[in-house]
Amino acid sequence: MEKERNVILSNGTKGIVRPIIPSDADALATALWELAPDSRMRRFFFDKTDLSEKELARFSNPDGVNHIAYGLAVEIEGEDELKPVSVARCFRDPKDEGLAEIAVVTADAWQGLGAGSELLRSLLAAAYRVGIRRWFAPMLSDNFAMRRLLDRFATRLEERELGNGIVETVYQIVDPTGKPA
Protein backbone atom coordinates (compact mmCIF):
# COMPACT_ATOMS: atom_id res chain seq x y z
CA MET A 1 0.00 0.00 0.00
CA GLU A 2 1.06 3.52 -0.76
CA LYS A 3 2.45 5.16 2.39
CA GLU A 4 1.56 8.81 1.97
CA ARG A 5 0.76 11.25 -0.83
CA ASN A 6 0.58 15.05 -0.74
CA VAL A 7 -2.48 16.55 -2.43
CA ILE A 8 -4.00 19.95 -3.11
CA LEU A 9 -7.80 20.25 -3.09
CA SER A 10 -9.67 22.42 -5.59
CA ASN A 11 -9.86 25.30 -3.09
CA GLY A 12 -6.05 25.28 -2.71
CA THR A 13 -5.99 23.49 0.65
CA LYS A 14 -2.97 21.21 1.09
CA GLY A 15 -3.47 17.76 2.51
CA ILE A 16 -2.09 14.28 2.88
CA VAL A 17 -3.64 10.97 1.80
CA ARG A 18 -2.36 8.01 3.79
CA PRO A 19 -3.49 4.58 4.98
CA ILE A 20 -5.67 4.48 8.09
CA ILE A 21 -3.78 3.15 11.14
CA PRO A 22 -4.96 2.02 14.61
CA SER A 23 -4.15 5.36 16.24
CA ASP A 24 -6.75 6.97 13.94
CA ALA A 25 -9.63 5.42 15.94
CA ASP A 26 -10.37 8.55 17.99
CA ALA A 27 -10.29 10.76 14.89
CA LEU A 28 -12.72 8.41 13.12
CA ALA A 29 -15.12 8.57 16.06
CA THR A 30 -14.91 12.37 16.25
CA ALA A 31 -15.36 12.76 12.50
CA LEU A 32 -18.55 10.70 12.55
CA TRP A 33 -19.96 12.82 15.36
CA GLU A 34 -19.16 16.02 13.42
CA LEU A 35 -21.02 14.91 10.26
CA ALA A 36 -24.43 16.43 9.60
CA PRO A 37 -27.34 13.99 10.09
CA ASP A 38 -28.04 13.77 6.34
CA SER A 39 -24.39 12.90 5.66
CA ARG A 40 -24.51 10.14 8.27
CA MET A 41 -27.76 8.95 6.65
CA ARG A 42 -26.12 8.79 3.20
CA ARG A 43 -23.23 6.75 4.61
CA PHE A 44 -25.00 4.43 7.07
CA PHE A 45 -28.69 4.62 5.95
CA PHE A 46 -29.63 5.96 9.39
CA ASP A 47 -28.41 8.80 11.61
CA LYS A 48 -25.54 6.87 13.21
CA THR A 49 -23.84 9.13 15.75
CA ASP A 50 -21.20 6.87 17.23
CA LEU A 51 -19.15 3.76 16.60
CA SER A 52 -18.91 0.85 19.03
CA GLU A 53 -15.48 -0.20 20.29
CA LYS A 54 -15.71 -3.22 17.97
CA GLU A 55 -16.52 -1.00 14.96
CA LEU A 56 -13.70 1.41 15.83
CA ALA A 57 -11.25 -1.47 16.06
CA ARG A 58 -12.45 -2.87 12.72
CA PHE A 59 -12.41 0.48 10.90
CA SER A 60 -9.00 1.54 12.23
CA ASN A 61 -7.15 -1.72 11.56
CA PRO A 62 -7.15 -2.34 7.81
CA ASP A 63 -4.84 -5.14 6.67
CA GLY A 64 -4.16 -3.71 3.21
CA VAL A 65 -5.47 -6.85 1.49
CA ASN A 66 -9.00 -7.68 2.64
CA HIS A 67 -9.67 -4.27 4.15
CA ILE A 68 -8.03 -1.26 2.55
CA ALA A 69 -8.63 2.20 3.99
CA TYR A 70 -7.21 5.65 3.29
CA GLY A 71 -7.81 8.94 5.03
CA LEU A 72 -7.29 12.50 3.92
CA ALA A 73 -6.21 15.14 6.42
CA VAL A 74 -5.79 18.82 5.56
CA GLU A 75 -3.75 21.73 6.80
CA ILE A 76 -5.84 24.34 8.62
CA GLU A 77 -4.32 27.79 8.96
CA GLY A 78 -3.32 28.51 12.56
CA GLU A 79 -3.49 24.84 13.66
CA ASP A 80 -0.50 22.63 14.36
CA GLU A 81 -2.11 19.31 13.49
CA LEU A 82 -3.72 18.14 10.28
CA LYS A 83 -7.52 17.81 10.37
CA PRO A 84 -8.98 14.52 9.08
CA VAL A 85 -11.76 15.28 6.58
CA SER A 86 -12.41 12.16 4.50
CA VAL A 87 -12.10 8.37 4.50
CA ALA A 88 -12.47 5.78 1.73
CA ARG A 89 -12.31 2.07 2.29
CA CYS A 90 -13.14 -1.25 0.75
CA PHE A 91 -13.79 -4.65 2.32
CA ARG A 92 -13.13 -7.71 0.17
CA ASP A 93 -16.11 -10.05 -0.22
CA PRO A 94 -15.17 -13.33 1.53
CA LYS A 95 -17.04 -15.32 -1.14
CA ASP A 96 -15.51 -13.54 -4.16
CA GLU A 97 -11.96 -12.27 -3.74
CA GLY A 98 -12.21 -10.11 -6.86
CA LEU A 99 -15.09 -8.10 -5.33
CA ALA A 100 -15.05 -5.55 -2.51
CA GLU A 101 -17.62 -3.28 -0.89
CA ILE A 102 -16.58 0.36 -1.16
CA ALA A 103 -17.55 3.31 1.03
CA VAL A 104 -16.50 6.96 1.09
CA VAL A 105 -17.39 9.66 3.59
CA THR A 106 -16.28 13.28 3.58
CA ALA A 107 -16.89 15.96 6.22
CA ASP A 108 -19.66 18.31 5.10
CA ALA A 109 -17.49 21.43 4.73
CA TRP A 110 -15.04 19.52 2.51
CA GLN A 111 -17.47 17.92 0.08
CA GLY A 112 -17.12 18.88 -3.58
CA LEU A 113 -13.44 19.88 -3.28
CA GLY A 114 -11.86 16.68 -4.58
CA ALA A 115 -11.28 14.83 -1.30
CA GLY A 116 -13.14 11.73 -2.49
CA SER A 117 -11.30 11.73 -5.80
CA GLU A 118 -7.92 11.94 -4.11
CA LEU A 119 -8.80 9.05 -1.82
CA LEU A 120 -10.15 6.90 -4.65
CA ARG A 121 -6.91 7.30 -6.60
CA SER A 122 -5.05 5.64 -3.73
CA LEU A 123 -7.78 3.11 -2.94
CA LEU A 124 -8.10 2.03 -6.58
CA ALA A 125 -4.35 1.44 -6.92
CA ALA A 126 -4.16 -0.53 -3.67
CA ALA A 127 -7.27 -2.60 -4.47
CA TYR A 128 -6.04 -3.44 -7.95
CA ARG A 129 -2.62 -4.48 -6.61
CA VAL A 130 -4.23 -7.11 -4.35
CA GLY A 131 -6.52 -8.56 -7.04
CA ILE A 132 -9.76 -6.65 -6.47
CA ARG A 133 -11.37 -6.01 -9.86
CA ARG A 134 -14.92 -5.01 -8.93
CA TRP A 135 -16.44 -2.78 -6.28
CA PHE A 136 -20.00 -2.85 -5.07
CA ALA A 137 -21.54 0.16 -3.41
CA PRO A 138 -24.80 0.11 -1.47
CA MET A 139 -26.11 3.68 -1.45
CA LEU A 140 -29.25 5.75 -1.32
CA SER A 141 -30.67 5.96 -4.83
CA ASP A 142 -30.47 9.77 -4.74
CA ASN A 143 -26.78 9.86 -3.72
CA PHE A 144 -25.75 11.42 -7.02
CA ALA A 145 -22.43 12.71 -5.68
CA MET A 146 -21.29 9.16 -4.84
CA ARG A 147 -22.47 7.89 -8.23
CA ARG A 148 -20.53 10.64 -10.05
CA LEU A 149 -17.43 9.93 -7.98
CA LEU A 150 -17.46 6.19 -8.63
CA ASP A 151 -18.26 6.72 -12.32
CA ARG A 152 -15.00 8.69 -12.61
CA PHE A 153 -12.94 5.73 -11.43
CA ALA A 154 -14.83 2.65 -12.59
CA THR A 155 -17.39 1.39 -15.08
CA ARG A 156 -20.90 0.74 -13.84
CA LEU A 157 -21.85 -2.89 -14.56
CA GLU A 158 -25.18 -3.39 -12.87
CA GLU A 159 -27.52 -1.97 -10.28
CA ARG A 160 -30.29 -3.50 -8.23
CA GLU A 161 -32.88 -2.14 -5.84
CA LEU A 162 -32.48 -3.30 -2.25
CA GLY A 163 -35.61 -1.52 -1.00
CA ASN A 164 -36.23 1.55 1.17
CA GLY A 165 -34.56 3.80 -1.40
CA ILE A 166 -31.28 1.84 -1.31
CA VAL A 167 -29.57 0.51 -4.42
CA GLU A 168 -26.48 -1.61 -4.83
CA THR A 169 -24.29 -0.81 -7.81
CA VAL A 170 -21.45 -2.99 -9.08
CA TYR A 171 -18.48 -1.33 -10.78
CA GLN A 172 -15.61 -2.75 -12.82
CA ILE A 173 -12.28 -1.20 -11.88
CA VAL A 174 -9.32 -1.05 -14.26
CA ASP A 175 -5.58 -1.05 -13.87
CA PRO A 176 -4.81 2.48 -12.65
CA THR A 177 -1.50 2.45 -14.53
CA GLY A 178 -3.38 2.04 -17.84
CA LYS A 179 -1.65 -1.26 -18.68
CA PRO A 180 -3.79 -3.85 -20.50
CA ALA A 181 -5.03 -6.66 -18.26
What's the CA gap between 127 and 134, in Å, rounded? 9
Q: Which of 50-59, 70-79, 101-110 has the lowest mean pLDDT?
A: 50-59
Work out the angle at residue 101's Cα, subtended by the Cα atoms of residues 6 and 122, and round it to the nearest 5 degrees: 15
pLDDT band at 8 (very low <50, low <70, confident <90, very high): very high
The CATH code that applies to domain 5-173 is: 3.40.630.30
Instruction: Say what the pLDDT of residue 109 is.
Output: 86
Is the predicted pLDDT of residue 176 greater than 80, yes or no? yes
pTM over 0.85: yes
What's the CA gap between 177 and 118, in Å, rounded? 15
Higher pLDDT, residue 149 or 140: 149
Dump the DSSP string for 11-60.
TS-EEEEEE--GGGHHHHHHHHHHS-HHHHHHHHSS------HHHHHHHT
What's the CA gap between 50 and 30, in Å, rounded? 8
Write out pLDDT tens, residues 102-136.
998 888 888 899 999 999 999 999 999 999 999 99
